[in-house]
Amino acid sequence: MASVSVSHMILFIASMVVAASVAGVFTSTVGEISNAVDDQGVHLSDDVRTDVEIISDNGTGACVYSCDVAGNLTLLVKNTGSQQLSGSADQIDVLVNGQYQPPEDVSATVLGDADTWDTNDVVRLEIAEPGLNSGDHRAKVIVNGDEEVFEFRIP
């Protein structure tokens, strides 16, 4: 009789252990998925809130290329979104005529009194791209997935 009780006890403990492991694995997996969803939500809302505009003037008489430093392309980018952005060159992707410009060739300066690139602040990008021929060119700036294209002509 006692052996029957012991075997029942063993089965009971085993069933509890199995149930606890199933519940544990389930909750930890769901926890990890929740963290990932939370991270993605933050990224996605940052992307939606991000909006930039290239405000440089591409008309005749306005200077875009070789203005202050020879061989430098100057772009003025305004933060028109509602998200504070990073004004450092390694957070801003720049392509000139389809060629990616590495961060060491791009210098970014937040203009005005601000230290951070808040809403309505303007960043001046100086892109070292010597040897651009006269003719039509195209620059693209990508910040947090928001892409802006600027077309200009060098006389």
Partner 1 sequence: MTGQGSRSARRGFATSGSFLVIFIGLFIALGTIYTVTANTGERLGDAREDQRDRHQAVQTTAVEVTNATWNGTDGTLTLTVANTGDSTLAVSAADTVVDGRYVGIEDYERATVAGVDSDQWRPGEDLVLEDVDTVEALSGTPERVRFVTGPGVADVREVTAA
Which residue, 14 or 100, is less far from partner 1 as judged by CB?
14
- What's the one-letter identity of residue 68? D
Binding mask 34-73 for partner 1 (x = CB under 8 A): xx-xx-xxx-xxx-xx-x-x-xxx-xxxxxx--x------
Distances (CA, A) of 131 to 56, 60, 66, 71, 88: 20, 20, 10, 6, 25
- Torsion, Cα of 99, 128, 61, 78 (10° steps): 80
Which residue, 80 or 86, is less far from partner 1 as judged by CB?
80
- Candidates 124, 128, 132, 142: give the one binding partner 1 (CB under 8 A): 124
Sequence-distant (6+) residues with CB within 8 A of 20 are none
Give dist(CA 79, CA 75) in Å, integer: 13
Binding site for partner 1 (CB under 8 A): 1, 4, 8, 11-12, 15-16, 18-20, 22-24, 26-27, 30-31, 33-35, 37-38, 40-42, 44-46, 48-49, 51, 53, 55-57, 59-64, 67, 74, 76, 78, 80-82, 111-113, 120, 122, 124
